[in-house]
């Protein structure tokens, strides 16, 4: 039983829809009001869409009632606006009144009501498209432009101000993708510039009420822009042609002067200028030969003859004030100054070993110009002549004889000091006797070098009194116990009162503290000036410069000497006692010696503040 | 009354010039009101609005609007002025009620109502220059329905705007492009 019922139900459920398909009749589907629009704020139209028609012919009707009124009216005009529409004429239209509209679909089986819609006419204004859109091409000085003009839709009453419309237009080249939109406000005309020459443009216009919807775009208006050459472009063409022309000319010029330009821009690389270097050999690929040829006998210099070196590297300083000193003297001075090889530790020789030697060597050194003695600067100049003595071995510079402990002779040092003396050899030769560990080194001043003070006229430059004669001793030791004092004794004190100038500044090279090979070191001082008190202001020469005074090291060991720091400009009457025995008129001569920072206890000369006492 | 004689044309033109700023204000007034209503509509659907108790008509409905657009200037302007006056008190009411409105963006609504008040005030002052008499004030509605009231205001602002623009166009006959 049950199975049968199920079967029948199944069959019926399958068959009936098929059967009923052909003959289905239902009440119509629900219609729907799609939109209502008023083009002029005086009339309006409503459209609806039908639902399913239910298989039967269906009629639609529209009913409405105004707000606060129960009276229902039916649509007065179903046809004016087309199918499924209802047109409300001016008489039926009340503005500022809500309409409640409903559409009813009716067929044989029934009807169906749409949802009601409230409509206020003034809110649904959508005008027609603007009319009479015209586009023209006009010319002005910048080129052609488009002038678009139109009219408001005929239905919209804009003349009385009932509807206020604003407009909008859009433009594009026919082949372009994007439109270019422009707002035109309430005006009915618009200009478009910057056109493409020879292009075809499309223009469209639409409008909108102040509170409403935009109209549709008007149909496109086409316009052809005539060909023209924009002035801007022609200017650029002119510039391009001109620059191309200039470029060609420049290229031609450069081509003509190719080689010189190349030389200027890419200077040739100088080839190697190695003496003995044979490029050809290198090219041949025999490096051994090439390099062998480079080996020159003279390199590296093996000579330790410092004399040679000294000669080689000596630089003569010519003071501009020193007009009167012939330069030849300098060489002799140099020769006098040079000391022998460093190895001679104990020789005690000075650069000019004996005064006789010195005299020989420096015989012609005397200053020929006595008048120059009157110049203090000469001294300086004289000193300056010693200044630039350079040693080939910088380390050796100081005192090649340092180890010797000898006194370095001071050729020419004092020569200008002797004023008016015919004997211009005032070489303060100080022979430093062999060093004694604790002895005092005394300088013996050759007699002849020290003419008696009496013989010396007191020239008007007493400043040139030297201190040598006056200082019988010059003690230089920091630690008197260990140090060795320099003593510059005037063997002949009487004669020692000469105008010796001690150019005695030892300058210590800073670097030479330890690095001094067992060669002599020379230190030079120069007289800076003479102060009012007849004191010599001695100044150490620069590290390059060497004073004429060579200080000998007492110690045999090399490389030990004091560091002298000169106090420039500071005049110290260091050895007041020295002058004690002298004629006071001579005035003290201050030798400024550097404070010694002697590195070694022995063999150094210390600028001890103590004066050698006579 | 349109004075056609030459002597009054100048006054006419000046009147039109005076109207221009007012139309700007009235336009703005209506736009603001419309956006306000949109905000309210989004939250209170139209169907629900009908269900709520509300007055049958706006309280200004008794003010007779001209039957057609050919009404006289006097009529138009006095109507505009009357409408504006009729809304002074209700706007105050709306302004006070806005903060308590059960709406997500009632802050925006409050500020917009304040703006409406400002525009209304300035518009009223502007119109006072142009019109001498004032119409009788209308009583505010007994039942208070915020949304309904706002919709009434929207309509009335549209009226005002329309009237003024008609007046402006008429006053500037010399320059039809302003219409």
Beta-bridged to residue A35, according to DSSP, are A47
Confidence band of B169 (pLDDT split at 50, 70, 90): confident
Distance, in angstroms, between B151 CA and closest chain A CA?
Answer: 11
Strands (E) located in A310-462: 398-399, 440-442
Work out the burial of residue A90: count CB atoms within 10 Å of its CB; fewer than 13 is exposed, 13-18 middle, 19 or more buried: exposed
Tell whether omega for the bond before A411 is within 30 degrees of 0, i.e. cis: no
Binary contact (B177, A187; C-beta < 8 A): yes
Name chain B contacts of A161, Cβ cutoff 8 Å: 165-170, 179
- Could you tell me how many residues make up chain A? 614
Q: Which residues of A touch B (CB under 8 A)?
A: 67-68, 96, 118, 120, 122-123, 157-162, 164, 186-188, 210-211
Q: Which H or E run includes A33?
A: strand A32-37
Interface contacts A/B by beta carbons within 8 Å: 50
Quote the pLDDT of residue A321.
53
Best CA proximity match to A56, nearest among A119, A106, A116 = A106
Distance, in angstroms, between A222 CA and closest chain B CA?
Answer: 26
Beta-bridged to residue A440, according to DSSP, are A485
Q: A103 versus B82: which is more confidently predicted?
A: A103
Work out the burial of residue A530: count CB atoms within 10 Å of its CB; fewer than 13 is exposed, 13-18 middle, 19 or more buried: buried
Quote the pLDDT of residue A200.
92
Binary contact (B165, A164; C-beta < 8 A): yes
Count how many Cα atoms sit within 13 Å of the Cα of residue A310 in the half-sphere of its side chain. 31
Binary contact (B178, A210; C-beta < 8 A): no
The dihedral built from the CA positions of residue B147, B152, B153 and B158, taken in this order, carries a sign that is positive
Across chain B, mean pLDDT equals 78
Quote the pLDDT of residue B27.
92
Give me B158's structure tokens. Answer: 């549209």
Binary contact (B166, A162; C-beta < 8 A): yes
Quote the pLDDT of residue B171.
80
Binary contact (B158, A122; C-beta < 8 A): yes
Q: Which H or E run includes B124?
A: helix B106-130
Say how many C-beta atoms besides its own lie within 10 A of residue A565's C-beta: 17
Quote the pLDDT of residue A132.
93
Quote the pLDDT of residue A372.
40
Binary contact (B69, A96; C-beta < 8 A): no
Q: B7 versus A42: which is more confidently predicted?
A: A42
Most confident of A242-251, B144-153, B170-179: A242-251
CA distance B30 to A41: 16
CA distance A57 to A76: 22
Secondary structure string (H, E, C) spanning A102-127:
EEEEEECCEEEECCCEEEEHHHCECC
Indicate the residue of B155, B170, B177 with minimum beta-carbon distance to A120: B155
Quote the pLDDT of residue A532.
62
Quote the pLDDT of residue A110.
85
Binary contact (A211, B165; C-beta < 8 A): no
Indicate the residue of A67, A118, A164 with minimum beta-carbon distance to B179: A164
Q: Which segments in chain A show pLDDT lower than 50?
A: 322-323, 325-345, 350-351, 354, 357-519, 543-614
Binary contact (A210, B159; C-beta < 8 A): no
Give me A280's structure tokens. Answer: 């050809």
């Amino acid at each position: 039983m049950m199975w049968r019922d199920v079967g029948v139900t199944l069959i019926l459920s399958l068959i009936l829809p098929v059967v009923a398909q052909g003959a289905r009749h239902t009440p119509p589907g629900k219609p729907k009001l799609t939109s209502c629009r008023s083009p002029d704020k005086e009339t309006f139209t409503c459209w609806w869409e039908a639902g399913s028609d239910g298989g039967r012919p269906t009629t639609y009707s529209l009913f409405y009632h105004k707000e606060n009124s129960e009276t229902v009216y039916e649509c007065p005009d179903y046809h004016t606006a087309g199918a499924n529409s209802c047109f409300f004429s001016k008489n039926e239209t009340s503005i500022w009144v809500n309409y409640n509209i409903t559409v009813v679909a009716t067929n044989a089986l029934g009807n169906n009501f749409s949802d009601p819609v409230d409509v206020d006419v003034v809110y649904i204004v959508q005008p027609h498209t603007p009319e009479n859109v015209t586009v023209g091409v006009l010319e002005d000085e910048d080129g052609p432009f488009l002038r678009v003009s139109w009219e408001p839709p005929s239905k919209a009453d804009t003349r009385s101000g009932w509807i206020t419309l604003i407009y909008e237009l859009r433009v594009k080249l026919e082949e372009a993708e994007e439109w270019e939109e422009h707002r035109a406000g309430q005006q009915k005309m618009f200009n478009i510039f910057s056109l493409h020459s020879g292009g075809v443009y499309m223009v469209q216009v639409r409008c909108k009420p102040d509170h409403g919807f935009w109209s549709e775009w008007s149909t496109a208006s086409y316009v052809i822009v005539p060909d023209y050459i924009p002035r801007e472009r022609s200017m650029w063409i002119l510039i391009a042609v001109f620059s191309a022309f200039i470029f060609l000319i420049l290229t031609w010029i450069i081509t003509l002067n190719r080689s010189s330009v190349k030389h200027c821009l890419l200077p040739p690389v100088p080839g190697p200028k190695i003496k003995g270097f044979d490029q050809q050999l290198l090219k041949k690929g025999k490096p051994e030969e090439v390099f062998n040829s480079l080996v020159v006998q003279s390199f590296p210099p093996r000579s330790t003859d410092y004399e040679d070196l000294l000669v080689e590297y000596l630089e003569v300083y010519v003071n501009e004030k020193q007009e009167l000193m012939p330069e030849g003297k300098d060489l002799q001075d140099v020769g006098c100054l040079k000391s022998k090889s460093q190895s001679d530790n104990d020789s005690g020789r000075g650069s000019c070993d004996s005064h006789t030697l010195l005299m020989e060597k420096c015989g012609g050194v005397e200053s020929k110009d006595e008048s120059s003695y009157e110049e203090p600067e000469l001294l300086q100049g004289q000193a300056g002549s010693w200044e630039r003595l350079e040693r080939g071995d910088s380390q050796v510079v100081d005192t090649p004889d340092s180890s010797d402990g000898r006194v370095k002779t001071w050729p020419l040092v004092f020569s200008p000091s002797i004023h008016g003396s015919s004997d211009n050899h005032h070489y303060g030769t100080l022979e430093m006797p062999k060093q004694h560990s604790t002895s005092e080194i005394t300088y013996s001043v050759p007699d002849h070098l020290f003419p008696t003070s009496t013989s010396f006229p007191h020239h008007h430059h007493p400043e040139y009194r030297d201190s040598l004669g006056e200082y019988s001793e010059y003690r230089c030791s920091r630690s008197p116990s260990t140090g060795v004092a320099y003593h510059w004794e005037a063997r002949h004190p009487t004669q020692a009162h000469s105008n010796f100038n001690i150019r005695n500044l030892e300058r210590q090279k800073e670097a030479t503290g330890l690095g001094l090979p067992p060669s002599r070191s020379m230190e030079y001082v120069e007289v800076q000036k003479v102060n009012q008190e007849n004191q010599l202001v001695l100044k150490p020469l620069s590290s390059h410069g060497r004073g004429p005074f060579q200080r000998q090291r007492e110690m045999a060991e090399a490389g030990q000497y004091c560091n002298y720091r000169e106090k420039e400009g500071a005049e110290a009457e260091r050895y007041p006692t020295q002058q004690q025995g002298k004629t006071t008129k001579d005035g003290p001569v201050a030798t400024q010696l550097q404070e010694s920072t002697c590195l070694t206890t022995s063999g150094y000369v210390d600028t001890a503040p103590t004066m050698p006492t006579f | 009354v349109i004075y056609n004689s030459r002597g009054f044309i100048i006054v006419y033109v000046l009147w039109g010039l005076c109207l221009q700023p007012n139309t700007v204000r009235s336009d703005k007034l209506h736009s603001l009101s419309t956006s306000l209503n949109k905000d309210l509509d989004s939250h209170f659907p139209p169907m629900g609005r009908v269900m709520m108790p509300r007055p049958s008509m706006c309280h200004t409905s008794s003010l007779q609007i001209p039957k057609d657009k050919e009404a006289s200037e006097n009529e138009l302007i006095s109507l505009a002025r009357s409408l504006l006056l009729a809304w002074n008190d209700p706007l105050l009411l709306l302004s006070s009620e806005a903060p308590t409105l059960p709406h997500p963006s009632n802050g925006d609504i409050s500020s917009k109502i304040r703006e409406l008040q400002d525009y209304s005030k300035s518009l009223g002052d502007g119109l006072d220059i142009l019109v001498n008499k004032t119409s009788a004030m209308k009583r505010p509605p007994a039942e208070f329905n915020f949304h309904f009231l706002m919709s009434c205001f929207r309509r009335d602002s549209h009226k005002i705007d329309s009237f003024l623009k008609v007046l402006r166009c008429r006053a500037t006959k010399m320059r039809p492009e302003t219409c």
